[in-house]
Amino acid sequence: MVKEHVAKETQGGKEAVVGSGKTSISQDVLANIAGKAAEDVPGVASLAGPSLKGRITGAIGDRSKHERGVAVEAGENEATLDLQLNVLQGYNIPEVVEEVRAKVSEQLLSVAGLTAKEVNISVVGIEGEGKKEEKKVK
């Protein structure tokens, strides 16, 4: 994601250009933002790592795919994300997934200024309740 900015400063009611440039946020940073947001949702046990195929592909050079369970494709104003999650046993999966989708979208907008075009979520495992001490969704 790259955005061009022109900073303006008001001096006595007039705007003066004080600098311009491009800001870029790497896909790894965007994946980190999304991953942390997802892990903060009650019922999420962990992000799932890449599959064997993903690890082999990553070793060859395509490290953007499901690094730590999150893949991001970002444009200038929006991003598409793919997350792989493990959910804690006893939680309502559709409710957890919707909360993850909302939290990831909210954080992506507030931290990086990007709109989440799509937040695709795959639940790839269920883990026992010993991983996190959270209150169950009823």
Task: Domain ranges for the chain, please list them.
Answer: 26-127
pLDDT in the model for residue 68: 75
pLDDT in tens, the chain (138 residues): 666 655 555 555 555 556 788 888 999 999 999 999 999 999 999 999 765 555 555 555 554 444 579 999 999 899 999 999 999 999 999 999 999 999 999 999 999 999 999 999 999 999 986 544 444 554
Residue 27 Cα distances to 8, 12, 56, 93, 99, angstroms: 28, 40, 20, 27, 22
Q: Which residue has the tokens 């046990």?
A: 45
Residue 52, number of CB atoms within 10 A of its CB = 7
pLDDT in the model for residue 15: 57
pLDDT in the model for residue 11: 54
Domain 26-127 has CATH 3.90.180.10: no
Q: Length of the chain, please?
A: 138
